[in-house]
Amino acid sequence: MSVFDQLGAGRDAVRLWFAPDRVQEEGETPDYRFSLANERTFLAWIRTALALIGGGFAVDQFLTDHLTHWARVALSLALLAGGVACTLRAVNHWVRCERAMRRGANLPVSRFPAVLAALVAVIAVAMVALVLFGWAG
């Protein structure tokens, strides 16, 4: 598959985010419990994204006297980027799982949970270091 084919497939996948009726046209309707479980997983990812975004704003707004500007901005942007990634991953994973269930295929695998966990761990270690060493501006 060429790069242009991959870009076209990616564009079509993003279009499905906004056209759930097209997803329903594929395959057979799965047991509704599986679709509802998929939706609950989607909502859990959205809650995670909101927590990361809220944490990013909290670091930026409330740690002004405790961190240097660069440390506050770096931590805030890392948390905000994690939140953005979670929102995009949530809808993409929901569509991929729904399509797989309708087709009777294996559910898609993803490295995203491991990447997110590593990102949060790095941010947590950085925050521990900032607290221990008191890097104030």
**Angstrom distance (rounded) from CA 96 to CA 34:** 13
**Angstrom distance (rounded) from CA 111 to CA 7:** 20
Is the pTM here over 0.85, yes or no?
Answer: no
13-70 pLDDT, tens per residue?
Answer: 778 877 777 877 888 888 889 989 999 999 999 999 999 999 999 988 887 776 788 8
More confident residue, 78 or 127: 78
CB contact at 8 A, 59 and 79: yes
For residue 126, give both structure tokens: 């950085």
CB contact at 8 A, 77 and 55: no
**Angstrom distance (rounded) from CA 131 to CA 125:** 10
